[in-house]
């Protein structure tokens, strides 16, 4: 794995290092960064940016990494000279703050593969976020902590001369894979820190024989061999579906799959809160307490009670909490090899079957294409679901070409004889605006049947457009919703929409060098 000297973490101002949650929360409140909600969580506002800013993310382009990167709309290059200017601006800004906050910890629950991470922030709540999301360092490691990766978060500094630096605006998230640094300017959205380190793992892990994955993971309480993975972009159900009282949680978002099994990259969870209810998602509901951080959630000014139904600020309301806030969570967050791999897609067209058992070739096809819908609020400017192909269900976080990760999936799935499923958590009965979202109870019923093995024994019918195997029945789910066409009042409209989506798949798969067998596993326009 490439190495580089750790950047200096010395500053001209006071740096409060590795403070406990109570101290950081008290400091955040004292500084006016947020306040306590009635449930004890720290409630904060992330300002103008309430989601990631992908158009403002740049990667330092150096000879050492250039040929290994999938350059394009996701991986946007910036010169070393401009990176250095932005880093200097961030450091000079941080030096002017009354005080800074430092977190030291790990990314990777398996000690054999973990990376050391240091985070410097100007906001106390950002440091609490980091200490919640990443894995806290062993106290014995703290003296002289030598980080593999460093984040400098100058979130209140807007870049004034952004045009001269080749930026798209006053916000910049710049990353160097060789220097192992992340510099954040102009955005208070804390998810940029989380995803930058995930991006780092996605580059570093394949070099040590680990498949990095944008997925959640859990395991059967009575069977350590029954591990499940849930791949999907934000809002598709990764966190919700993996939070199961009968299955200890390994992690909710980012994992590695090594020769030893799977392990969580993180020490916490980052769940969407919009429409959250105690009845529907009791584990997440109860995890929102002192030590967790609520982002952009509307709080009643009198009672301080969060209103999770309101999207006044954004649909992308969020909460972060330590994984141990989930009862029975797996600590340390490691597990064996997965028995089931589930791809989650939120189909805004409303034409994909709700659940399908994939062949090996279909698994490769649908993984590479990574079809879903961008949901409101997850990125700046997204106000309604948009059809989206995100390779490997994590394209925004993948520096290497998609086929690198697809080949890793095939290798791991084939080596463990795992089943791969496509689960549609999107719309039925019509597209977004006409149809309705699949009921969470139905989706949970599919997951239960997958994980207990009963759905594997179903009889199947091939979808005529997408070629996907659709079960003829599933306990707890009305039979009529299993065939998408049956749920549409206007069958001709369904046929046109399905053909349209199939054509979009074919247009997208032309971007990849697929084998004939894998390409043939796609839809039939």
- Can you tell me the distance from the alpha carbon of 379 to that of 394, in angstroms, rounded to the nearest whole number? 14
Distance of CA 353 to the CA centre of its chain: 24
Give residues with Cβ within 8 angstroms of 57, minimum separation 6: 76, 173, 174, 175
| 3-state secondary structure (DSSP) of residue 50 | coil
Q: Residue for token digits 């004890």?
A: 40
Distance (Å) of CA 428 to CA 377, 408, 424, 489, 501 = 22, 32, 9, 11, 14
Q: How is residue 267 written in tokens? A: 């020490």
For 267, left (φ over 0), alpha (ψ -120 to 50), or beta? alpha
Q: Residue for token digits 């892990």?
A: 205
Residues serving a catalytic function are 52, 195, 214, 234, 238-239, 253, 318
3-state helix/strand/coil string of 82-137: HHHHHHHHHHHHHHCCCEEEEEEEEECCCCCCCEEEEEEECCHHHHHHHHHHCEEC
Distance (Å) of CA 113 to CA 4, 46, 53, 107, 199 = 17, 32, 29, 9, 15
Nearest to 440 by CA among 430, 453, 425: 425
- Can you tell me the distance from the alpha carbon of 107 to that of 230, in angstroms, rounded to the nearest whole number? 20
Supply the Cα-derived Rg of the chain in whole angstroms. Answer: 22
Residue 117 neighbours by CB distance under 10 Å: 28
């Amino acid at each position: 794995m490439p190495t580089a000297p750790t950047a200096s973490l010395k500053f001209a101002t006071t740096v409060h290092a590795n403070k406990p949650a109570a101290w950081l929360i008290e400091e955040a409140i004292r500084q006016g960064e947020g306040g306590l909600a009635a449930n004890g969580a720290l409630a904060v506002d992330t300002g103008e940016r309430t989601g990631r800013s992908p158009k403002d993310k740049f990667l330092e382009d150096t000879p050492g990494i250039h040929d290994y990167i999938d350059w394009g709309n996701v991986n946007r290059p910036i010169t070393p000279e401009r990176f250095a200017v932005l880093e200097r601006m961030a450091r000079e800004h941080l030096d002017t703050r009354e005080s800074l906050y430092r977190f030291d910890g790990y990314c990777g629950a398996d000690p054999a593969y973990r990376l050391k991470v240091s985070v410097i922030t100007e906001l106390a709540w950002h440091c609490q976020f980091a200490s919640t999301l990443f894995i806290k360092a062993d106290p014995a490691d703290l003296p002289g902590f030598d980080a593999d990766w460093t984040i400098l978060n100058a979130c209140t500094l807007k870049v004034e001369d952004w045009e001269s630096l080749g930026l798209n605006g006053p916000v910049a998230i710049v990353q160097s894979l060789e220097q192992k640094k992340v510099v954040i300017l102009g955005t208070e959205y804390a998810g940029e820190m989380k995803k930058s380190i995930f991006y780092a793992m996605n580059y570093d892990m394949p070099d040590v024989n680990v498949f990095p994955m944008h997925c959640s993971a859990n395991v059967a309480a009575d069977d350590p061999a029954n591990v499940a993975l849930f791949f999907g972009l934000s809002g598709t159900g990764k966190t919700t579906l993996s939070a199961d009282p009968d299955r200890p949680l390994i992690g909710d978002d980012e994992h590695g799959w090594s020769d030893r099994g799977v392990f969580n990259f993180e020490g916490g969870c980052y769940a969407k809160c919009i429409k959250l209810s105690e009845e529907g998602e009791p584990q997440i509901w109860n995890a929102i307490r002192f030590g967790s951080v609520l982002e952009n959630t509307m709080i009643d000014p009198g009672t301080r009670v969060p209103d999770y139904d309101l999207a006044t600020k954004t649909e992308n309301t969020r909460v972060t909490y330590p994984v141990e806030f989930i009862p029975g969570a797996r600590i340390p967050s490691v597990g064996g090899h997965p028995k089931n791999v589930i791809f989650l897609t939120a189909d805004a067209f409303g034409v994909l079957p709700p659940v399908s058992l994939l062949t090996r070739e279909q698994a490769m096809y649908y993984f590479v294409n990574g079809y879903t819908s961008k949901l409101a609020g997850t990125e700046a400017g997204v106000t309604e679901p948009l059809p989206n192909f995100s390779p490997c269900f994590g394209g925004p976080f993948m520096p290497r070409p998609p086929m690198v990760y697809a080949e890793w999936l095939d290798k791991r799935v084939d080596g463990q004889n795992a089943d791969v499923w496509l689960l549609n958590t999107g719309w039925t009965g019509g597209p977004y605006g006409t149809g309705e979202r699949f009921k969470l109870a139905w989706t949970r019923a599919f997951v239960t049947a997958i994980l207990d093995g009963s759905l594997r024994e179903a009889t199947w019918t091939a979808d005529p457009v997408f070629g996907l195997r659709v079960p003829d029945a599933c306990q707890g789910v009305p039979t009529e919703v299993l065939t998408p066409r049956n749920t549409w009042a206007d069958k001709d409209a369904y046929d046109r929409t399905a053909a349209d989506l199939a054509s979009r798949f074919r247009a997208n798969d032309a971007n990849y060098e697929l084998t004939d067998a894998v390409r043939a596993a796609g839809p039939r326009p």
